[in-house]
Amino acid sequence: DPKWITQILNNLISNSIKYTEQGSIEVHVQSVEGASPTAPHTLRLRVIDTGKGIAPHEQKRILQPFEQIRTDSNIEGTGLGLAIVKRLAELMGGSVSVESTVGEGSVFRFSVRLEVVEWQDSAAVEPPFKGIPAWVSVQPLPLQTEMESRLSRLGFRAVEDPGAARLVLCSGEPP
């Protein structure tokens, strides 16, 4: 279900944004074809961040409802996001895992097998990050243009002020 996959990605990326004060967030998507053109494909997603990281004893616990990482900062939330991610993945016959090192960041993995269906016009699907402000400053300029285009297709809204952005992509340190 595209809405469930969107919800999973949205929750994982939102958490990475919350817990990554500086550094980077990467999203990797891989589709592994089945044995034949009509056989199910495996979709693999990884969200990698350079955030605070998660202690080993908390890594399994945070996938349970109402569980949050105890930090010294005032990060708001219900503790349901990762439990929802886990449940949606399981409902689609997939799985979620986390690898993390405190002070270095985290890698959240999600995989699911998907049936092959006929193409749906992408204009009919609402973008997953509709209206979320993003600021991009990367070099060289053609790369920046490409990044802005890709973010726009995902629904991000370009802003001039990095302080007003929920997503900041830049080469080097942000201003």
Taking only the tens place, the pLDDT of each residue in 91-145 is 888 889 999 989 899 999 999 888 776 655 555 667 777 888 888 887 777 777 8
At residue 121, the pLDDT reads 59
Q: In the chain, pLDDT over 90 holds for what percent of residues?
A: 7
**What separation in angstroms does the CA of 40 have from each of 7, 66, 90, 135?**
21, 34, 16, 37
Q: Can you list the positions of beta strands (E) in 2-141? A: 25-32, 41-49, 95-101, 105-114, 133-137
At residue 73, the pLDDT reads 55
Q: Please report which confidence band the pLDDT of residue 31 belongs to, taking 50, 70 and 90 as the band edges.
A: confident
